[in-house]
Structure 1
Amino acid sequence: MKIIYKKAAIDDLLNTENYIINQFHNDQAAKKLKNNIVDTISLLKDNPYLGPKMSDRFDIDTPFRYLIVSKQLVFYNVNEENIEIIRILDSRQDYLSLLF
């Protein structure tokens, strides 16, 4: 299966990286978190159902699954051909309102 990043997910990843750089002046920590997120997402190639279904945790009818990486939540969808990375959001945000 191929992993595809939606534009919003790419923007989320870059915004997270820039936030850490600008707020904490720590390029190394920003790069480490970004690499950790991307490395964890790459695990989906071999196991696309690694993350739990959102519908199992929330009363929401959605096919989305999620992974937890540090304080980031990676929301994704598995279809017949691809794994689509939908968003990468901080768990301290109101991520449900950002997703839906």
Structure 2
Amino acid sequence: MFQVDVSPQAAEDLLEIKAYIEKELQNPIAAHNTIKTIVETYEDLANDPDVGIPVERYVSFPTNYKFVLANNYSIFYRIENKLVKIIRIMYSRRDFVRVLFSNNENT
């Protein structure tokens, strides 16, 4: 069994997703359900972290990132020993390459 660790940026992503759905879309029930689905999805990675899709399939450089989908959101993570590190959570249509790799701190 792996441990799951949520980065500060991924935690901020969750708060932004919740706020957007609650305030902009004016749907607090959907916000709650969306966050619940995302959290359950990344917590399930503790049992089988290899289920994710390698990001390398979509970029022209090596990376150890993987992602899983939770409804319309992509959860990006890395496996580090017995730890699943949740790096970012973002709407699936966002340009994840630009967001993840625009600076060198995430690579």
The normalised TM-score by structure 2 is 0.89
Counterpart contact for 2:59–2:97, Cα < 8 Å: no
Superposed, which structure 2 residues align to 1:8-87 within 5 Å? 8-87=9-88
SS for the counterpart of 2:30 is helix
Counterpart contact for 1:48–1:83, Cα < 8 Å: yes
Unaligned runs of 5+ in 1: none
RMSD of aligned Cα (Å): 0.9
SS for the counterpart of 2:68 is strand
Provide the rounded CA distance (Å) in 2 between the counterparts of 1:60 and 1:8. Answer: 23
- 1:19-77, Cα deviation, whole Å (9 max, x unpaired): 00111111110000000000111111110111111112322311000001111110000
Counterpart contact for 2:4–2:86, Cα < 8 Å: yes
Counterpart contact for 1:54–1:60, Cα < 8 Å: no
Provide the rounded CA distance (Å) in 2 between the counterparts of 1:60 and 1:4. Answer: 25
Counterpart contact for 1:13–1:34, Cα < 8 Å: yes
Unaligned runs of 5+ in 2: 102-107
2:4 counterpart of 1:3 = yes
SS for the counterpart of 1:49 is helix
**Which 4+ runs in 1 deviate beyond 6 A?**
none
